[in-house]
Amino acid sequence: MKRADIDRLFASLAEVIPAPKTELEYTNTFTLLVSVVLSAQATDRSVNEATPALFALADTPQAMVALGEEGVRDKIKTIGLFNSKARNVIALSQLLLDRHGGEVPRDREALQALPGVGRKTASVVLNEAFGEPTIAVDTHVFRVANRTGLAPGKTPHEVEAKLERVVPDRWKRGAHHWLILHGRYTCLARKPRCFACVIADICPFRPKTPDPEAEAALAAETKAKGRRRLPPPTRKASPRAPRA
Ligand code: SF4
């Protein structure tokens, strides 16, 4: 994608999403970290439904360790993979206490050393909590980057490396959120809403999906026109009786 189009892409997304941020609900950096860990292979909505009750009991590593694995499990059992996630939340809380004085470190290596924290989770925390220009690549970002030609790649890692290279600095901080929200609400996996997309004119993805409402209206109009065009019914001449 050309540099001018990349600028256009982000300027257009920034217009419709003026405050790019995570949809996960959290109250401090620790609860953000826990929410992102819980969101692996689960929807933000399912996490947001469970975490208020959890964070009301434990919003610090100390309180989380005191709550214990059983207590965490009980509060997150509606989230996929809750057994291993409960184990990780307790283990990472303990490590934060042991190695970082109970604080979430602003350091990728230290973050990724925590149980349940991979590159993507670390990138989200660095970006959301510390304002670092990281671009985490999840399934939505991966799809949008490929379809638009912004940063095509076969693996999330490849896409992330390309995004780091091609996204201008002024857009880097919000890029992850703009791409993720665009993928979640417009550039849907099975049926992208190209008819409602603000970057449709610079996106090479084909075929573009038409607006179902406009399609239905057109079909109804065509049907009505067809009906109007039908020739008037002709009377069949009744056969004359042969003259005697
Ligand atoms: S035009 Fe369609 S495929 Fe391209 S980014 Fe927009 S929604 Fe996605």
Looking at ligand 1, which atom is closest to the CA of residue 199? 6
Please name the residue whose Cα sits nearest to atom 2 of ligand 1.
194
**Residue 201 pLDDT > 60:** yes
Q: What is the mean pLDDT of residues 215-240?
A: 67
Residue 76 lies inside a defined structural domain of this protein: yes
Could you give the angle at the alpha carbon of 214 between the alpha carbons of 213 and 216, nearest 5°? Answer: 65
Work out the pLDDT band at 244, boundaries 50, 70, 90. very low
Q: What is the gyration radius of the CA atoms in the chain, in angstroms?
A: 27
Residue 118 lies inside a defined structural domain of this protein: yes
Residue 98: the pLDDT is: 98
52-78: pLDDT as tens digits: 999 999 999 999 999 999 999 999 999
Residue 225 lies inside a defined structural domain of this protein: no
Residue 13 lies inside a defined structural domain of this protein: no
HSE on the CB side for 62, CA within 13 Å? 3
Structure tokens at 207: 């075929």
HSE on the CB side for 22, CA within 13 Å? 28
Enclosing domain of residue 64: 29-130
Could you confirm whether 223 is annotated as catalytic?
no
Residue 54 lies inside a defined structural domain of this protein: yes
Please tell me the distance between residue 6's alpha carbon and the centre of ligand 1 in angstroms.
14
**Residue 34 pLDDT > 70:** yes
- Residue entry with tokens 């703009």: 178
Work out the pLDDT band at 205, boundaries 50, 70, 90. very high
Q: What is the mean pLDDT of residues 78-92?
A: 97
CATH number of domain containing 42: 1.10.340.30
Arithmetic mean of pLDDT over the chain: 92
Looking at ligand 1, which atom is closest to the CA of residue 198? 6
Residue 97 lies inside a defined structural domain of this protein: yes
Work out the pLDDT band at 241, boundaries 50, 70, 90. very low
Please tell me the distance between residue 9's alpha carbon and the centre of ligand 1 in angstroms.
11
Of the candidates 48, 41, 58, 17, the residue with the CA atom closest to the CA atom of residue 121: 41
Please tell me the distance between residue 2's alpha carbon and the centre of ligand 1 in angstroms.
17
104-131: pLDDT as tens digits: 999 999 999 999 999 999 999 999 999 9
- Find the residues whose C-beta lies inside 6 A of ligand 1: 147-148, 186-187, 192-194, 197, 199-200, 203, 205, 208
In the set 44, 74, 120, 154, the catalytic residue is: 120
Q: What is the mean pLDDT of residues 180-206?
A: 96
Residue 166: the pLDDT is: 97
Please tell me the distance between residue 170's alpha carbon and the centre of ligand 1 in angstroms.
23
Residue 119 lies inside a defined structural domain of this protein: yes
Work out the pLDDT band at 229, boundaries 50, 70, 90. low
Residue 194 lies inside a defined structural domain of this protein: no
17-27: pLDDT as tens digits: 999 999 999 99
Looking at ligand 1, which atom is closest to the CA of residue 197? 6
Could you confirm whether 154 is annotated as catalytic?
no
Of the candidates 22, 30, 51, 33, the residue with the CA atom closest to the CA atom of residue 122: 33
Please tell me the distance between residue 203's alpha carbon and the centre of ligand 1 in angstroms.
6
**Residue 168 pLDDT > 70:** yes
In the set 21, 85, 98, 138, the catalytic residue is: 138
- For the chain, the domain total comes to 1
Looking at ligand 1, which atom is closest to the CA of residue 193? 7
Name the percent of the chain lying above pLDDT 70.
93
Residue 134: the pLDDT is: 97
Q: What is the mean pLDDT of residues 214-227?
A: 80
